[in-house]
Every structure is written in C-alpha cells, then in structure tokens.
Structure 1
C-alpha cells in the first residue's frame, strides 16, 4: 500500500480519531443534492472516515477510497457488513484501476487540494463509463479563502465559472455548476475572513448543523442563490470513448 500516513489530517484538519455523527443534517443535505446525479455504481474519492458514504444505500457497487492508509483501514472496518462496498487506497495522480468502470465518481472537498485540477478530472474520467457523471463538491469563492484553507492545502476556492473551466479543460461536459449554502458562506466569511478563525469550532459547527442547515435546505429548494460556501458541479464524460 502506498504510504500517505497523515494525509487525512493534513487535508481536513481533523484526526482519524474524530469520528462520530459529523454534522448529520449537513451530510443529508449534501446527499440530497448529489445523489440525483449518481448511477448504480459509485466511486467516492477522498471518502475520509466514510460519513458521506454511509448514507449511500441501495447501490449495486460502492468503492470508497482515500489517500491515507489509516482512513482506508477504518473504511474497511466501517463497511465490513456491506458486501457491495469495497475500500481501497487511491492517491490522485498515481496509477489506479478498477475491475470495471463506475457510472459515477463523487469527490467531496477534493479538487481544491490538487494543483492540476483539470488533469485530475481527466484521470477520474478514465474510471467512468461513457456518459457517466463526476460530481464535485468544492469550497466556493476566493473571497472566503483564509488561514484554514492555507493550513489544509487548498490551492483555490471555486466559482461556478472556474470549476466549469477545469471540467472543460479535462474534456468533459458541464451539466450543473451552481453555488450552494448561502448562509454557510456568510457564516464562513464572518468567522474566517473577519474573525480570523483558523479552524472550525466544534461547538459552533454543531449549532450550525442543528439550526442553520434546515433553514438552508428549505430556502435553497425554492431559490437559486447567487453565492455560497460551496459550489456543486456535475460533469459528464463523453458518450463514446475516443
């Protein structure tokens, strides 16, 4: 197994021991936005401790990956009772193969860690069936870039236009590119850009998850917001292999 010990902590600011519910309402909100674009077989890149993947049920096949071997070990144990799930180490930029391509790739808070984002997307596309989806959940808007972003190795934050540019440079088609989580973006700006916070406060994160996320979900079901903490992008691979 490739050695990338500490990759999870370096990328998230969390230790492998910090498991638990991890913002259950926020995770449901993410899945509500992401799963409509998923096929029956899914590869999640940068699955971490599996909080997002735990709610991906009813699939024929789910491959959960992370660069950190410690995280992969925890993923393997977490999903040991689900025969459709396989845990593997995957370091984007290194050679990686699947027995069969998947219909969808999910990358939550991954692309911003990669200097060559278009190259990474092109590599992921090789793991997806023709016409399949690559679903990206990336931090939004450079105005929100702060010390926390620097500490966890973010090269950039995205707008719908900049993530679309990376997708197009990778030879893929943009199906969706939109900001989400307006209230989270305002809170992040207040805490990180104005308040100088260098890491998320667990108590405030819990309050946000309990009270703000339900309001965000209700509002953004009805209104397309002009700005947000995150950008959701859905890319499609070419319908035929070149």
Structure 2
C-alpha cells in the first residue's frame, strides 16, 4: 500500500476528533501517568493530543510522516517538530542525532498503518533511553475491521495479546496493557460496518464527546477488559 501524499480521509477524521475535547483529554489523561522526562510523539497529526502535553508544559517533540501535518502543528505550537518514517531503511543513520535521547515515546493510532509493525516498534525502541517508556495505542479486534479502517489505510486491528507479542518480540518489558473506550465499539460498528460510512460522522463524535464522562465510568466498571482500542506500555531494559 503506497502512502497518500495528502490523506484526505485521515485529515477529515482528525478535524472531527479535534472538536472532541473531552475525548482527547480522556486519552491524554489515560497515558499521562506513563509519560516522563523528554517525550516524543510519533504521528502527531494536527496536534489533538499534543496540545494537552504543551498546556501542561511537558518537554515534548512532535513528529509525523506527513509534511502537511507538521506544517499545521508548527503554526499552532512553538515546540520542535521532526519528520519521522518508522520504517525508513536508513533509520539508524538518518535519525542518528535523536536515537537514545527520549525518556518516553508514544504512538497513538499509528502502528496499524504500518505493514511491518515489528520493525516500527524496533525503531521506536531505538529512540528511547535505557529505562524509557514506549506507549502504543492501536485499534482493537479484527472483527471490527470495516470501512473506516479501509479508508484510514489500516493493515490490521489488534487484541491485547497480539500487541503484547509484537512488543515482547522486540525485547521490551511490558509494564501495563489494557483496553480503552468500551462503548465506542457500538458507534464504530454501526457507522463503519452497518452504515458503511467512510469517515466518522461529526454529529456522532459530538454526541460521543458529551457522553465521555459516562464512557469513562463504563471503562472503570468493566476494568478495561474490552474496548475499541488497546494500550500497551512497555519499558526499554
């Protein structure tokens, strides 16, 4: 699958999610306890999660594969930006200056876009200092693969065990892993599998955003055992 120079569906989705401030804060607050020191965000998009780190005065570098996203975040924020291709065959030489320099690397909804996910995780690991944390969020359950996934150029969806296996194959130590956003499964399935929508409807995301307090409560009730996404936190030993 070749990379679209301008990802229209991805851009539209990011702009819809941009307005979902409660949802974005929920995601941020979920990964925040695992973030420390100098942080690198892989796949910052238009900065929907980045802004919370910046508001909290965290030391964060923003990166993406697409130039147009980096242009957008460069206008929004003063933080440093860098173009990173996680499967660049010359990764070690091209990114030599930043290898081993970060205390935290996180990639939210990124790894599913990469066919060789093991190599992508290996290169994330290279960017970490020893003892640094890697935080990965990916979409959950292959049976939920639908029109949204196709339009967003996802190769696959994951189970908790599947993402843990990829992490473990790279000799990273699993710190924690859990599912995220249980009730979101319903909206994803109805809009993407039944109604065959190509992008997340803005009105649906707006309603979802209003109900985030309920959804957060639901995740706590089921102890994060099921969810639309799965989060895996690991450490470079």
Q: TM-score over 0.5 for the alignment?
A: yes
Please name the residue that 1:161 is paired with. Answer: 161
Distance 1:97 1:200 in 2: 38
Deviation at 1:49, TM superposition (A): 0.5
Deviation at 1:19, TM superposition (A): 7.8
Secondary structure of 1:14 counterpart: helix
Deviation at 1:156, TM superposition (A): 0.5
Q: Decide whether aligned partners of structure 1 residues 147 and 24 sit closer, same or farther in structure 2, where only a CA change above 3 A counts.
A: same
Please name the residue that 2:33 is paired with. Answer: 36
TM-score w.r.t. length of structure 2: 0.88
Between 193-202 and 66-75, report the one with greater CA deviation.
193-202
Q: Runs of 4 or more off by more than 6 Å in structure 1?
A: none
Secondary structure of 2:193 counterpart: helix
Q: Decide whether aligned partners of structure 1 residues 20 and 230 sit closer, same or farther in structure 2, where only a CA change above 3 A counts.
A: closer
- Give unmatched runs, 5+ long, in structure 1: none
Between 89-98 and 201-210, report the one with greater CA deviation.
89-98
Please name the residue that 2:138 is paired with. Answer: 138
Give the conservation status (yes or no) of the 8 Å contact 1:147–1:197. yes
TM-score w.r.t. length of structure 1: 0.86
2:57 is the counterpart of 1:62: no
2:220 is the counterpart of 1:235: no
Give the conservation status (yes or no) of the 8 Å contact 1:108–1:137. yes
Which protein has the bigger helix share? Answer: 2
CA RMSD of aligned residues (A): 2.2
Distance 2:17 2:229 in 1: 23
Between 214-223 and 150-159, report the one with greater CA deviation.
214-223
Please name the residue that 1:92 is paired with. Answer: 86
Between 224-233 and 160-169, report the one with greater CA deviation.
224-233
Out of 48, 53, 69, the residue aligned to residue 51 of structure 1 is: 48
Distance 1:124 1:168 in 2: 13
Q: Decide whether aligned partners of structure 1 residues 220 and 129 sit closer, same or farther in structure 2, where only a CA change above 3 A counts.
A: same
Q: Decide whether aligned partners of structure 1 residues 141 and 67 sit closer, same or farther in structure 2, where only a CA change above 3 A counts.
A: same
- Give unmatched runs, 5+ long, in structure 2: none
Please name the residue that 1:214 is paired with. Answer: 213
Give the conservation status (yes or no) of the 8 Å contact 1:163–1:177. no
Please name the residue that 1:114 is paired with. Answer: 114
